Structure 1
């Protein structure tokens, strides 16, 4: 994986994300994605403090985005685009290549905590998307986060939505597995750009970046 020298800092955690990711897999040509927004996942502790669990960066393959969606949205103003629920529904419906990169911030994080949190969220999103919470990809995904998986501060987890409804998961650059399920891809990414999102501020940033890409 090649990285640009330009970085963006997530303001609440200070974790930095490169502005461009370039993936090269054996079965595909090089794929570059631009950083569209950053945010963090927090956990409220008895309404006293918020523990910052991880920061995330949301990346998207710009050419595919512009080719498939710019005609529909190019005339939108920035405020119209930010207020559009249909834009994000289109992102989840179209065969666009996107990546969510997580970077662990909370040094006490355990794999079981991640597994449990994602299981609850994904079942809710699957129910919304396909009318039922079961999906072949769910058990596979949960198996990635076995108790033996170390999640020290700074651990990087990449969820890559590849063409054809494939979800490729890497931890610290090492391939963990590939899930073949368009619905599961949609459910996972709906956590970040659906309703409600993990971070509304990040979702607004993503809309702003998409607006820039449509106007460029």
Structure 2
């Protein structure tokens, strides 16, 4: 069944990366996750000015967002809701809402080891506390054969308690770990996001969906 008109592609302003309005595998069909917002991960590197290391976007099932979260935030104005941490926390808590994080590497300086080390620094404390370090080891092994380069595309899709990883359109693993899934998305949607600009953009998109 064909769905409603999808939003147009969104160009991330700092990097110029263009993200589609909806995920390509299900484009044009009901329930296909659409883009909520996008931004860039910027890092200061010794001897260089701040570098945009990758662009990122979040895609969510709009219908599921509205049905699961709409009643909870009814009566809230969009501007306030976009900045309300409860919105992001509830999104992560609801496993019935499909969520896909799409990352595009935008600098040749980014190497596999540095990318994984930065994620591990954020993931390890919570996974260790939850006794889920094995999930972290499995997560990192998915990248063993990935040759990092400018333009490399990585997607993390959360469906139920499962996190599926795809690199350049090839699925490299699926891990059933609710804690890993929530912790990874919290890196970008939590109180201390890896990209404040991306979180702000995603917040506005989510608020529009919830209050539509």
1:115 aligns with 2:116: yes
Q: What is the rounded CA distance, in whole Å, between the counterparts of 1:89 and 1:199 in structure 2?
A: 17
Partner deviation per Cα, 1:109-146 (whole Å, 9 max, x = no partner): 2211222111111114546xxx4474332011110122
Partner deviation per Cα, 1:79-100 (whole Å, 9 max, x = no partner): 3213322111111111111010
Alignment correspondent of 2:155: 158
| Pair 186,151 (structure 1): closer, same or farther in 2 beyond 3 Å | same
The within-5 A match list for 1:39-54 is 39-46=39-46, 49-54=49-54
1:170 aligns with 2:166: yes
Q: What is the rounded CA distance, in whole Å, between the counterparts of 1:203 and 1:30 in structure 2?
A: 26
Alignment correspondent of 1:65: 65
2:108 match: secondary structure: coil
More strand by share: 1
The within-5 A match list for 1:64-213 is 64-95=64-95, 96-126=97-127, 131-132=129-130, 134-146=132-144, 148-163=145-160, 165-213=161-209
Greater RCO (CA < 8 Å, at least 6 residues apart): 2
Q: CA deviation at 1:211?
A: 2.0
Pairwise CA RMSD of aligned residues? 2.2
Q: What is the rounded CA distance, in whole Å, between the counterparts of 1:190 and 1:88 in structure 2?
A: 9
Q: Is the 8 A contact 2:10 2:19 kept in 1?
A: yes
Q: What is the rounded CA distance, in whole Å, between the counterparts of 2:210 and 2:138 in structure 1?
A: 36
Q: Is the 8 A contact 2:162 2:177 kept in 1?
A: yes
Any stretches of 5+ residues in structure 1 without a counterpart?
none
Any stretches of 5+ residues in structure 2 without a counterpart?
1-5
Q: What is the aligned residue count? A: 204
Q: What is the rounded CA distance, in whole Å, between the counterparts of 2:109 and 2:155 in structure 1?
A: 20
Partner deviation per Cα, 1:5-64 (whole Å, 9 max, x = no partner): 93211111111111111446xxxx985111111111121124851121111011111111
Alignment correspondent of 1:11: 13
1:113 match: secondary structure: helix
Q: Is the 8 A contact 1:60 1:98 kept in 2?
A: yes
Q: Is the 8 A contact 1:123 1:133 kept in 2?
A: no
